[in-house]
Amino acid sequence: MKLDQLAAKIEPHQKGVAIGVGVAFFGGLVIFGGVWALVIAVICIIVGTMLGLVIGIELMRRDTAAEMTALRAHYEAASELAYKLNEELHGAAQRAESAERDLLSTVAEKTTLRAQLDALQPGGTA
C-alpha cells in the first residue's frame, strides 16, 4: 500500500485523536488544576493516542477486509468469464477443423468429378 493512500485513510482518525487529546487536556486542567493536570493530560494523551491507533488499525482492517472481499468477487467473475471464453474458443476451433475437413473432402470430390468429366469429353484419354 502506498504511503499517500495510508495517510488518506488515517487522516480522519487523527482528527478524532486530536479532539480527544484536547478535551482530555482541558478537562484535566478544569477538574484537577495545577501540576496534576499536566500529569493527567500526558497520561490522557498517551491513552488517547493508543486508543486512536487501535481504533484506526481496526477500521483499516475492516476496510482491507471489504476490499479483499470485493477483489475475490471480481477474481471469481473474471475466472468464470475466462472459462467461458476458453470453452467458446475450443468450440470455434472444433468448428474450424470440421469446416476444413469438409472443404478438403469437397475439393477431393471436385477433383475426382473433374477427372471423370475430362475422361468423358471427346479427345480425352480413357
Q: Tens of pLDDT along 95-121?
A: 999 999 999 999 999 999 999 998 888
When pLDDT is averaged across residues 56-70 and rounded to a whole number, the result is 90
Tell me if 76 sits within 8 A of 22, measured CB to CB. no
Query: Per-residue pLDDT for 5 more than 90?
Result: no
**Confidence band, pLDDT 50/70/90 cuts, at residue 67:** very high
Taking the domains of the chain in order of start, what are their residue ranges? 15-118
Which amino acid is residue 44, in one-letter code? C
State the Rg of the chain over Cα.
Answer: 40
| Cα dihedral 56, 57, 63, 67 sign | positive
Given its phi and psi angles, is residue 20 left (phi above 0), alpha (psi -120 to 50 degrees) or beta?
Answer: alpha
